[in-house]
Structure 1
Amino acid sequence: MSDHGTQAMRSPREVSRLVTRHLMPLLIAAYIMSFLDRTNIGMAKERLEIDLGISATAYGIGAGLFFITYALLEIPSNLILHKVGARFWITRIMVSWGLISAAMMFVQGEWSFYILRMLLGAAEAGLFPGVMYFLTQWFVREDRAKANGIFLLGVALASIIGAPLGGALLTMDGIGGLHGWQWMFLIEGLPACFLAIVVWKMLPDRPTQAKFLTPEEAADLEARIAAEETAGADASGVRTMGDIWKDKQMLLVVSVYLTEQIAIYAMTFFLPSIIGGYGDLSSVEIGLLTAIPWIFAAISCSIVPRFATTGSRSQAIVTISMVGICTGFALGAMSGPVVGLIGFCLGAASCFALHPVLFTFPASRLTGATLAGGLAFVNTIGLFGGFLGPYVMGFMEDSTGNKLSGLWFVVGVCAIGTVLSLFLKYGETTRRRAEVGPSAVPAK
């Protein structure tokens, strides 16, 4: 019997569902605000050009500079999170990014735009890989892709909500002597600071600190996760950060992720302006149309990762998703408004099918601080795609006068990523069922 009255110990499957109900809503809410605050400049692009004279190339540089400082601080941030705990570190991240995002309302020109975007990247560094590492401490491998997909709902929901919300806030132009984009940055930035208080009060660092689990359930969960990590690290031989650079599978994960990130951020930052070029549309109409591909992304990341229960299935999902990204962006580049929007829907859905599954591969090969640093390493390299995608899109638009020209660059690099994905493999060949208890799975 447990310390929670006479309640019998729940099965691993029931425990997984309980963990999902208690942790995921809070993490999703945090990521919604995070993605909203890093990408809301997409809705402000045209107004920044008109009000401040920021060119498409300068906008692309500023959009991408966020990812330079974010990427450079990813590994240190995740190693700190491993040491001090997710509860404290995620709270710190949220407060700092919320304040800096709100301060975007004070942008005066290109250089202040660049500086604040770099500060925002530094403030938010470590959030995504931090949560990816945090989830490895709560979900066994069989459930991890599903948990990652649920978390990534935050990105899709932020894009669904963000575009119409940003369009509506832009209509506040002139109220209080402020531009509409200034109101947008202020109103969308500050809520992160308030949610940080909730994270501090409600987020446990590990199962044995969770009030919603019995001590027996928490110990069982931690033992099963520890056994999986040990088996994976033993099979791969990757035990230090230096070993990651020599591991071909980790380098393949990084390479595929880089190409996907180029695609996702090219679309994130430029889709509103591409849709705006379809005709004489208001900011609200642009926002509503921009939200459509992200609805498909939300559906995709809710359903597809549930099938990634084995290594072979995971590899197949990654490859098929990369093909979908290439096809979707090609349709967006060469078709009219209707077929083009369908293409972007396919591209968004494919990105969000791939993303949560790809991030299960490092946890099949790494453990402990190396896993925390390895996840940050994958995200660090991948996020250079967050700089490269917007930069090339902006540069190509200014060079050719065509908002769609940069999409062919995306198709090309994602074709390379598709080929590389064919060689992905899981690190551990022996797969344990989630129902195995601590008596059969030794603790680390």
Structure 2
Amino acid sequence: MPLMIVIYIIAFIDRTNIGMAKSALEVDIGLTAAAYGLGAGLFFFAYSLLEVPSNLLMHKLGARFWIARIMITWGVLSMLMAVVWNEWSFYILRVLLGAAEAGLYPGMILYITYWFPRADRARAIGLFLLGVSLANIIGAPLGGALLQLDGLGGLHGWQWMFIIEGLPAVLLAFWVWFKLPDRPRQAKWLSDEDKQLLEEQLAAEDDGKGAQAHGFRALLPVAKDRILWLVIAVYFTHQVAVYSLSYFLPSMIAGFDPDMAPLTVGLITAIPWISAAIGSVLMPRLGTTIGRQKALVSGGLVAVAAGLLISVLSGHNLLLAVIGFVLAAFWFFVIQSMLFTFPGRRLSGMAVAAGIALINTVGLFGGFLGPTIMGSLETATGNPLAGLWFIIGLAVCGALLALGLKGSGRETAVAKN
């Protein structure tokens, strides 16, 4: 788990560091807020289209090889972001970066199903998602500091940021190749008895649904499952909120004081993500039953909407806006950790890989839609907070949809008994 968390910290920093560079890119290459939002979203367009084939390949080729391959390609392309010179180069590299990183998140969630029984998966996913919060806690102040290298060696500060923050992914990929076991039976730190006990426990929970499906046929059990499509819809609303804040929170913070230093912006931006980290550690352990998971998802989305409402109504009060962002962010990865337990509850074998990838594929169109709409509304109104109204409405819709979530037929029968 520590290695997985570190991998995702680096991935999320490289995915969202353009948020800290937004203002500098507007000045240096003439990028508008709308173009920035579109470029931020294009990452997810390419990422989502390739997620299902990526996860199927990881299930076939093994986590060690596939995750190392993803890390090398995304690290190189993240460093190449330093050469963007106009809107189209920005768009193209964001698409390529999304294609390179495609499959990392669903691959990691699939990997967790190889190691953790159902009762422990929500907590494990919550710990893994701690990487997102830590990435923003570390990445925002780090990005602010690197931006202050402007002029060093004839490069802009944002160029140094992309180069320095992209390199760790390439270096860590070699550690992953040598140290990450594909399955529990390959873990050197477990005894033979522990390996057998864990694999027997995981096998006992496997109801065989979708286990014999291979390739894209593994999508058939997923496509027929109404509850998984409901999970997808809820996840879509959640991702609009998460990525809108990931990409626009620094500029929203800076909008309260145009003279604020980049490092100060980064430090204030980190505060809501500290709250998100606390939530991802404390709350998922409560999601041990399907009823509790449903309550945490629905109630969490209501809290997200309430927090963003506080922020959008804060006027010129930065403290009040930050309090609202803190409340919303606290629930981000509580909700996400609950939603990704459902494929493992309802499917098995290759179908689990396909289900996880499909949920993330469709859900991540929210990562495309959210930043795109945020950028368009900021350009149209001149108000960086204007797009929050759209996110609030979607979060409420997601909370209502989450009330229909259910576990597997076996779990439902046990609950009734």
Question: Same fold by TM (over 0.5)?
Answer: yes
CA shift digits 1:286-343 (9 cap, x unpaired): 0000000000000000010011111111111111111111111111111131111111
1:416 to 374, 397, 414: 397
Question: Partner of 1:296 in structure 2?
Answer: 275
Q: Work out whether 1:188 is the aligned partner of 2:193.
A: no
Q: State the 1:428 CA deviation.
A: 4.4
> How do residues 52-131 of structure 1 correspond to structure 2 at under 5 angstroms?
52-131=29-108
Distance 1:402 1:32 in 2: 30
CA shift digits 1:215-263 (9 cap, x unpaired): 22112211211221227779xxxx9412322321001100000000000
CA shift digits 1:361-386 (9 cap, x unpaired): 11100111110011000000011000
- Label 1:74 to 1:87 Cα distance change in 2 as closer, same or farther (>3 A): same
Distance 1:243 1:208 in 2: 28
Question: Partner of 1:345 in structure 2?
Answer: 326
Contact 2:209/2:221, CA 8 A, preserved across alignment: no
CA shift digits 1:377-410 (9 cap, x unpaired): 0000011000000000000001111111100000
| One-letter code aligned to 1:396 | L
1:318 to 288, 294, 297: 297
Question: Partner of 1:305 in structure 2?
Answer: 284
> How do residues 206-225 of structure 1 correspond to structure 2 at under 5 angstroms?
206-225=183-202
Identity of aligned residues (%): 54
Contact 2:22/2:36, CA 8 A, preserved across alignment: yes
Contact 1:393/1:406, CA 8 A, preserved across alignment: yes
Q: Match of 1:229, SS?
A: coil
Question: Partner of 1:371 in structure 2?
Answer: 352
Greater displacement, 32-41 / 346-355? 346-355
CA shift digits 1:88-143 (9 cap, x unpaired): 00000000000000000000100000000000000000000000000001000011
TM-score normalised according to structure 2 size: 0.95
Distance 2:203 2:116 in 1: 11
Q: Work out whether 1:205 is the aligned partner of 2:182.
A: yes
Question: Partner of 1:392 in structure 2?
Answer: 373
Question: Partner of 2:214 in structure 1?
Answer: none
Distance 1:137 1:65 in 2: 31
Distance 1:54 1:276 in 2: 17
TM-score normalised according to structure 1 size: 0.89
Q: Work out whether 1:154 is the aligned partner of 2:115.
A: no
CA shift digits 1:135-194 (9 cap, x unpaired): 001000011011001101110000000000000000000000000000000000011111
1:277 to 234, 247, 255: 255
Question: Partner of 2:220 in structure 1?
Answer: 242
Aligned pairs, number? 406
CA shift digits 1:31-63 (9 cap, x unpaired): 000000000000000000001000000000000
| One-letter code aligned to 1:264 | V
Contact 1:170/1:181, CA 8 A, preserved across alignment: yes
1:254 to 220, 225, 232: 232
Distance 2:177 2:413 in 1: 34
Contact 2:210/2:351, CA 8 A, preserved across alignment: no
Contact 1:325/1:348, CA 8 A, preserved across alignment: yes
Distance 1:349 1:118 in 2: 30
Contact 1:78/1:129, CA 8 A, preserved across alignment: yes
Contact 1:233/1:364, CA 8 A, preserved across alignment: no
Task: Give unpaired runs (5+ residues) of structure 1.
Answer: 1-23, 434-444
Q: Match of 1:392, SS?
A: helix
Task: Give unpaired runs (5+ residues) of structure 2.
Answer: 212-216
Distance 2:366 2:70 in 1: 22
